[in-house]
A and B are shown apart, each in its own frame.
Chain A
Amino acid sequence: MEPIRGVREEFGDLAGRFGAELVQYAFTRGISFHDAQDIVQRTFLKAWDVFQSGARPENPRAWLYRIVLHEASNERRASNTRRRARSILAGRDSSPPAEPAVTEEFRRTLDAVQALPPPYSESIALHYLQGLSIEETAAVLEIPSGTAKSQIARGLTLLRSKLHPLQGEEKSP
């Protein structure tokens, strides 16, 4: 059996290397800072379970991204419950981290990316906002590189009609 301290250190290295970009990714998927922390915490818990079992993912970065992606989609599904929960606990919340001040253009771009249909939105966010290569994006989404490339291209077209519609061009939903 591997000594637990060694595994913990190894896991700590991994978390240190990719943790910030995972929070960033959750944030770009429309999750608040407060909930992004929860999501990444759950991601670490799941990953730690796997690490403890002795298994090591081939591509840890893509693997962690996939867990965040899954957790973020659960989070969005549960958003109605959470909104209610927030209203229930309104005024009693200890001190959720303040959302950062961002520029109007940044917010508009992020909103537009989030509003794209899921496959395009995820590809665009991973490639342009997270700075992953096409191959890395494909690895996270578990799709061939060619598919990732065409999703990104299609996503850009949709984004164009959303952010800079031509006169008479219908805004995409």
Chain B
Amino acid sequence: MTCQEARALLEQSSVEGALPAELTSHLEACAACREEQRRSVEILRQLHAARESLDDLRPRFEETSARAFRRAMTGGLPAVGSSWTRVRAAASLLIIALPVFWFLFTRALPPTPGGSRPQEDRVRKLIELLKDPAPEVRARAQDDLLDVGPSAGPVVKSALAGTSDLEVRSRLSQIAAVYRCQEVLGNDGGRRFGMAGGPVEKLRRLVEFLEGHSPRQLKDRDKEVLTEELHRGATREDQLRLIELYATPRDKGAPWGDEAVAREYAWVLPPLLGHPDSEVVLRGVVALARLGGLPAIPSDASRPALSARIADLLDSKNRTLRLSALEALGRHLKAEAEAPRIAPILEDPDPELRKAALAALGRLNAKRFSVDVARRLKDPDPAVRIAAVDVLRDWRAKEFIEAVAALLDTPGVEVRAHALTALGELDARAYAPQMAQALSEKSAPVELRVGALKGLRGLRAVEYIPDVVAQLQAPEGFVRALAVDVLGAFGARDRVGLVEDRLRDPDAMVRVFSAQTLAVLGVPGSKTALERALGTEQDPEARVAILEALRSFGK
């Protein structure tokens, strides 16, 4: 055994534990490899010791985990009681500390004549020190500038405009940002929220600040202050603007960072749900839903009240608000109790609203309004008819089979296609011949063929396998893929050869469906076809599908 082989074995055995016999004898003979083994053992000892140290820290990990869990499940909303206690304590401390601090600060200044000049001169000197060759001096100067506070802002800004040194610019712009942050969040004078101006002005400046900075720069205390500010009479426009900021990820043009960051800060929204303006409430709900923060709202007590307030907006004259309210009630709040207020909108003159009302009732599973929904099968707008068909299909409302079937004689291709699919899902076997006919007509539009294939799949109408097989030659890839899928759903093991042939289809999607269908059919002979296909397949998704299919065959 060479040393190289021994070290490879040593590497392997360090994970597996046991030393192979041939390695043991080599180690006895070779001092260099023995040294290598000693180092290996030492590393394992160190890792073991590290593990023990981590075990010692276990209570800290548990405590941190519990805190993270609490915050996650409450949307990160700070506890108001503790916030107040801390703010009061901080205020008291500041009242005591401020005169002392001011005394020390003024004594530290050089005795230069000229009113506010001493501080200005000191600031300029500190800015000069930002160019010092010693990094610790530069860092200290930055800290000292931060201690001076926002009153040094004008000097810092003018220095920033006058320097081209990259490091100095970077430090100065950081300092300027701190000053703005301190101004906005009130850390500059010992008063509770510090800065001059009313809450509206504060919020406006806050929003401007947020637009220019990552929310990661905010800490718990800032969150508490912000939440408080949102409660205190900010203008409605500013609140809506802030909600948009939180709810819009960067790809939609907001400067807010990615969605994950926005989600982290969804804590600011729940307080808005108690806002007197229902539109603010609605936007808050939609934004929270988008950020995944809705679980923070208790489902038992708060949601019905919230839903009722949003349902008030269904009577609004603003169409966008009404559409948004329908979506919030149906999708986000699952407000079953509000279904009676949604149902009358099925008669609204606006087809978009009728469609949205159908979708909301469908999501709420409000089957007691199925007659009203079925009435919309005769709606003049085809999109509304389609929405009604889809709702009845999802509800498995077999009592409306005839009404749905009547749509097969109407002119709209898409409506007919949805009707065919729905009839399949409603188990209306009497209409299987019409589905097969839609497949056999050479001039049948693609939508109709897709609807018919789905309908036959719903019926599991295996007697129409030949019609489905014919669609394996359809010019459209997605129709061929659907036909393959239907054969799988039928369990058509005797057509497995045709599915195997589709592993060579020019369309990768068809090849993916074929591999999946072969796994479903589970005919042992397909394994060879799959292995052969794997040898030539280039498309990554198709390769994954083939590998998964092979795995299902026990490879």
Contacts and interface: CB of A to CB of B under 8 A. Distances in A.
A163 B263 contact: no
Given A89-B181, A91-B146, A163 B76 contact: no
A173 interface: no
Given A20-B65, A42-B263, A156-B40, A52 B71 contact: no
Interface in B93-126: none
A98 to B, nearest CB: 10
B533 interface: no
A87 interface: yes
Contact of A124 (B47, B67, B147, B263): B47
A141 to B, nearest CB: 15
Nearest to A98: B60
B73 interface: yes
Contacts of A28: 54
Contacts of A73: none
A69 to B, nearest CB: 14
B298 to A, nearest CB: 9
Interface in A35-51: 36-38, 40-46, 48-49
B73 A8 contact: yes
Interface in A93-143: 93-94, 97, 100, 102-103, 105-106, 109-110, 113, 124, 128-129, 131, 134
A153 B260 contact: no
B65 A22 contact: yes
A153 B14 contact: yes
Interface in B116-159: 142-143, 146-147
B49 A36 contact: no
Interface in B260-277: 260, 263-264
Nearest to B266: A45
B317 interface: no
Contact of A105 (B46, B58, B62, B174): B46
11 contacts: A19-B65, A41-B264, A49-B295, A84-B217, A89-B181, A109-B49, A113-B50, A128-B47, A156-B15, A160-B40, A164-B43
Interface of B: 11-12, 14-16, 35-36, 39-40, 42-44, 46-51, 53-54, 57-58, 60-62, 64-69, 71-73, 76, 86, 142-143, 146-147, 174, 177-178, 181-182, 185, 187, 214, 216-222, 260, 263-264, 292, 295, 299, 334
